């Protein structure tokens, strides 16, 4: 059980049988009376958000969430298929559930899928992924007027800024937390 003093951004709690994550958090101590905890909560199943204010001393149930290691298999046009590495069961997630992660997701990528009551909610990618550049303009030596980066299209279709010396067909390492180029892979 959590108490209202444990509330913070990113904490996952259960309210009326649904998991919620605290998206924004503010602690307010008025001149008189109890401290207030103002939270913006997001339902992890439906995605709906609302504001709620709690007083000190209130208790909250911890959300029964489990991170399961799964491998991304394929995209069927509507959903993304993941396979549990231990029991080979498959779970399907929508584009909305994946969010920005779909830009760095390629087949056979192993990631953690967040489960609530045996239902997939969200994924966590590895911090770094290696992707191949499918399209990038060639670099003209001495061309410094264009800046120090150029756009490159990755095999997933995502466009990322890379240094001018990186060429089409090369494999690069991307930081999935920031979405930025890290280095070339040899």
Mean pLDDT over residues 81-110, rounded?
88
State what percent of residues in the chain have pLDDT above 70: 96
For residues 111 and 137, state if they share a domain. no
pLDDT at 145 over 80: no
For residues 132 and 94, state if they share a domain. no
For residues 84 and 50, state if they share a domain. no
Mean pLDDT over residues 67-96, rounded?
89
Domain end marker among 24, 40, 62: 62
Strands (E), 95-148: 110-116, 119-124, 128-136
For residues 84 and 38, state if they share a domain. no
Which region among 12-26, 34-48, 113-127, 141-155 has the lowest average model confidence (pLDDT)? 141-155
Taking only the tens place, the pLDDT of each residue in 31-52 is 888 889 999 999 888 888 999 9
Instruction: Note if the pTM is more than 0.85.
Output: no
Q: Domain count of the chain? A: 3
Domain CATH code at residue 175: 2.40.50.140
Residue 146, pLDDT score: 55
For residues 9 and 46, state if they share a domain. yes
Confidence of residue 116 (pLDDT cuts 50, 70, 90): confident
Half-sphere exposure of 148 (CA within 13 A, CB side): 1
Six-digit token string for 179: 């979405």
DSSP string across 150-179: EEEEETTS-EEEE-TT--TT-EEEEETTTT
Domain end marker among 62, 80, 109: 62
Domain that holds residue 158: 128-184
For residues 20 and 57, state if they share a domain. yes
Residue 144, pLDDT score: 61
């Amino acid at each position: 059980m959590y108490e209202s003093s444990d509330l913070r951004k990113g904490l996952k709690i259960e309210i009326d049988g649904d998991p919620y994550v605290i998206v924004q958090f503010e602690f307010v101590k008025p001149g008189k009376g109890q401290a207030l905890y103002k939270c913006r909560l997001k339902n992890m199943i439906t995605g709906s958000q609302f504001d709620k204010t709690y007083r000190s001393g209130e208790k909250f149930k911890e959300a029964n969430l489990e991170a399961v290691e799964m491998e991304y298999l394929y995209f069927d046009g509507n959903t993304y298929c993941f396979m549990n590495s231990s029991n080979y069961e498959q779970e399907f997630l929508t584009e909305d559930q994946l969010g920005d992660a779909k830009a760095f997701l390629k087949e056979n990528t192993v990631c953690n899928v967040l489960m609530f009551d045996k239902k997939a909610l969200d994924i966590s990618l590895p911090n770094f992924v290696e992707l191949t550049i499918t399209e990038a303009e060639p670099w003209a030596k001495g061309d410094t007027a264009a800046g120090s980066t150029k756009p490159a299209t990755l095999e997933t279709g995502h466009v990322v800024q890379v240094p001018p010396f990186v060429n089409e067909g090369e494999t690069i390492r991307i930081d999935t937390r920031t979405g930025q180029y890290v280095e070339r892979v040899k």
